[in-house]
Amino acid sequence: MKNQPLNILLLGPPGSGKGTQALKLVGEFNLKYISTGDFARQIAGEKSEEGERVRRALAEGKLVPNEIIDNYVEGELSKLKTYEGVIFDGYPRDLEQALNLEKFLSKFGRKKILVIYLDVSEGNIIKRLLKRKRSDDKPSIIKKRIEEYIKKTKSVLKYFRDKEILKEVDGNGSIEEVYKKILKVIDYD
């Protein structure tokens, strides 16, 4: 399937190192990078009703409303050339987003989907997030983000596991160790 562009979904709890690993993959495979978290933070900076809704969600560690996220993703996919590969960082986060994403991918003729889950222990997650110091990385919000992640994303993992396209990677090691494991599961042929 070498002539098919890659569509990688990189899933994992907050602090799992998704962003770091995604950027390494972007360089290696020349992928377009779509981060719904970066998008949410950008919208949160806008003086609009939508900006206010997103600011509130981020401050509470909740997910941003799906229609905002899904519209963005569909728009970004529509801009891609058919041969361009893509990696999603932090999307889909719930079952509705997963089903919508599949619709969008099939609408744009994208067939090769790889779902990678970075599994990291809760202790490591908290340690990493407290070192990072982003504005939603305060201890009280971190706890909510992790709870929200587990509650909502469990169904996404189950969905892709049942379809036998979920690759689970132990994300507890160093950046390079984890990256090597990811390359192994991509096994691009």
The residues of the shown chain that bind ligand ADP, judged by CB under 6 A, are 14-15, 36-37, 40, 57-58, 61-64, 69, 90-91, 93, 97, 145
Tokens (6 digits) for 147: 């709870």
In the complex, minimum distance from the CB of residue 81 to ligand ADP, in angstroms, rounded to a whole number: 24
Q: 92 or 187: whose CB is closer to ligand ADP?
A: 92
AA letter at 54: V
- DSSP letter for 80, please: S
Q: Which is nearer to ligand ADP, 130 or 184 (CB)?
A: 130
- Cα separation, 188 vs 119, in Å, equals 21
Show the beta-strand stretches assigned E in 36-107: 86-89
Q: Which residue is nearest to ligand ADP (CB)?
A: 37
Least spacing, CB of residue 3 vs ligand ADP, in Å:
29
CB of 136 to ligand ADP, least distance (A): 6
Cβ-proximal residues to 137 (8 Å cutoff; 6+ apart), any chain: 129, 130
3-state secondary structure 128-181: HHHHHCCCCCCHHHHHHHHHHHHHHHHHHHHHHHHCCCEEEEECCCCHHHHHHH
Pick between residue 74 and residue 82 the one whose CB is nearest to ligand ADP: 74
Pick between residue 9 and residue 166 the one whose CB is nearest to ligand ADP.
9
Cβ at position 2, least distance to ligand ADP in Å: 29
